[in-house]
Amino acid sequence: MLESYIKTRRKEKRILLMTHIVLGYPTFEDSAALIDTMVNAGVDLMELQIPFSEPIADGPVILHANQKSLATGTRIKECMSFARTIARSFDIPFLFMSYYNILFTYGLDQFAAKMADYGLKGAIVPDLPPEEGKDYLIAMNKYRLAPIYIFSPTTPENRMTYLHSVAKGFIYCVARKGVTGEETTFSNELRDYLERCRRATDLPLAVGFGVKNKADIDFLIDKADIAVIGSETIRILDEEGVDAVGDFIKGLR
């Protein structure tokens, strides 16, 4: 189970790292090289984003990666078979991240069945609040997959409790308002917010949106279980290539 993996791993490490890549960006070979590099650099879990044409919760860096991947002709089928190979080749948990239309169009039960069959552990679907996701939750639970839910700084306590009641694996805490890939101030305000999150759930906490250097990660130690690095690795990949991504990740802990 994802939750127990995280909790066990946390006994060895003060904080875990989760990275995010967009499948087929810039190519599937690059995606494979990137995953290999990230796993060897010590990443503990990974989000594989299936690109979507309307990624409304993503900022410019990930948005462009989505568009460029689709422009090269990326199809869901390829993303699925790629994920299958990857999940079999590496010994860390992989999650799918995508928008609801991708799952809806594929068929929720079929999507979850494939995920389970291929060895993926869970999914993050940022435009699917649990109220709209009854069928999704049924499918995820049926195949013992973790539906990951998101807390945001605007989420009131009673809603955190509600989200906790349907979530599995961990809670993804968005560090601030806005989309992916923007500046976050790692401040007392963030600390207070994470304390609120901690009180609302005993699931591990992942913190994402704007994590981009060792200082950010150090700040999160003892406040969260997982630091999520999303846009920053894509930026480094674009500017300096795959090897630089490996060095960057090794320098984070």
Partner 1 sequence: MNNRGYYDRFGGAFIPEILVATFDELVTSFTEAKNDPGFWQSYQDILASYSCRPTPLTYAENLTRYCGGARVYIKREDLNHTGAHKVNNVMGQGLLVKRMGKTRVIAETGAGQHGVATATMAAKFGFTCTIYMGEVDVQRQRPNVFWMERLGAEVIPVRDGTRILKDAINEAFRDWVRNMDTTHYVLGTACGPHPFPEMVSYFQSIIGKEARDQILKIEGKLPRRVYACVGGGSNALGIFSGFMDDAVELVGVEAGGKGLETGRHASRLCSTDGSVGVAQGYKTYFLQDDDGQMKETHSVAAGLDYVGVSPILAHLKETGRVRFESATDREVIDALSLTIQKEGLIPALESAHAFVQALKEAPALSPTDAIIINQSGRGDKDIFTVADAFKDPKWQEFIKKKAEEYHA
Binding site residues, partner 1, CB under 8 A: 52-57, 59, 63-64, 67, 70, 75-76, 99-102, 104-106, 126-129, 131-132, 149-156, 159, 163, 174, 177-179, 182
Catalytic residue among 44, 58, 216, 225: 58
In the complex, least distance from residue 158 CB atom to partner 1, rounded to whole angstroms: 12
Tell me whether residue 150 or residue 224 sits nearer to partner 1 (CB atom).
150
Tell me whether residue 156 or residue 251 sits nearer to partner 1 (CB atom).
156
47 is catalytic: yes
In the complex, least distance from residue 3 CB atom to partner 1, rounded to whole angstroms: 20
Phi, psi of 150 (to 5 degrees): -115, 135
**Which token pair is 232?**
């920053």
Tell me whether residue 19 or residue 155 sits nearer to partner 1 (CB atom).
155
Tell me whether residue 90 or residue 100 sits nearer to partner 1 (CB atom).
100
- C-alpha pair distances (Å), 52 with each of 14, 63, 150, 196: 34, 9, 19, 32
Residue keyed to tokens 């630091």:
227
In the complex, least distance from residue 192 CB atom to partner 1, rounded to whole angstroms: 17
Q: Are 99 and 126 in contact (CB under 8 A)?
A: yes
Q: Sign of the C-alpha dihedral, residues 131, 134, 140, 144?
A: positive
Tell me whether residue 23 or residue 39 sits nearer to partner 1 (CB atom).
23
The beta strand positions in 75-212, using DSSP E, are 94-97, 122-124, 146-151, 171-174, 205-208
58 is catalytic: yes
DSSP character at residue 25? S
Catalytic residue among 47, 216, 225, 232: 47
CB atoms within 10 A of CB 227: 25
In the complex, least distance from residue 144 CB atom to partner 1, rounded to whole angstroms: 24
> What residues contact 163, with CB distance under 8 A and at least 6 apart?
130, 149, 150, 151, 155, 171, 201
In the complex, least distance from residue 8 CB atom to partner 1, rounded to whole angstroms: 28
Catalytic residue positions?
Answer: 47, 58
